[in-house]
Structure 1
Amino acid sequence: MTMDSILSADDIKKALDSFKAAESFDHNKFFEMVGLKAKSDEEIKKAFLVLDADNSGFIEEEELKFVLKCFAPDGRDLTDKETKAFLNAADKDGDGKIGVDEFTALVHE
């Protein structure tokens, strides 16, 4: 499964183009721009599965760094600062990783 089977390829491209500069990533704006916020919980869970590259059931910090590449191969890597901010925003239980329920809640914020 790929993100463009869940979301519009045009929306993905526009969102990635908006966050090309380092330190510009904002997960709330990004999720809105790609259309993820408007999706059902089931579709958000499908997106989570794409982001969970190692199929561990969690999105770990190392996977978060490459999250934009999961939306499109030409997406940039997040900076360490962006990665940590993204993780801190989603990791409500403090275990250092993002579960599917945490991810769904973050998208709906």
Structure 2
Amino acid sequence: MSLSSILSADAIATAIKDCQAPDSFCPKKFFQLCGLAKKSPQDVKKVFGILDNDGSDYIEEEELKFFLQRFCSAARVLTDKETKAFLNAADDDSDGRIGVEEFQAMVLS
């Protein structure tokens, strides 16, 4: 399954373009622009599965660095500052990784 089977290519392109500059990535805004915030919890869970590159049922800091590239291979890597801010914003139980429930809560809030 690919992200373009859940989200429109145009919406993904718009979201990627919005955060091209280093340190301009905002997860909430990205989820709004790419259309993920309007999707069902089931679709958000499917996207989580795609983003969980190693199949661990968690998105770890190393996977977050390449978050934008999962949406568009030509996108930039997140900066360390953006990666840590993203992790801190979603990691409700402070275990250093984002579980599917934490991801859904962040996307759909």
TM over 0.5: yes
Partner of 1:102: 102
Partner of 2:53: 53
Q: Which runs of 5+ in 1 are unaligned?
A: none
State, as a whole percentage, how many aligned pairs show the same letter: 56
In 2: Cα distance, 1:66 partner to 1:103 partner: 16
Query: For 1:59-99, what per-residue CA distance to the aligned partner results, in whole angstroms no more than 9, with x for missing partners?
Result: 00000000000111111100000000000000000100000
Q: Give the root-mean-square deviation of aligned CA atoms.
A: 0.5
Q: Counterpart amino acid of 2:40?
A: S
Please, what TM-score do these two structures have when normalized by structure 1? Answer: 0.98
Query: For 1:17-56, what per-residue CA distance to the aligned partner results, in whole angstroms no more than 9, with x for missing partners?
Result: 1100000000000000000000000000000001000000
Partner of 1:84: 84
Partner of 2:44: 44
In 2: Cα distance, 1:75 partner to 1:55 partner: 22
Give the SS at the match of 2:36: coil
Deviating beyond 2 angstroms after TM superposition, the runs of 4 or more aligned structure 1 residues are: none
Partner of 1:71: 71
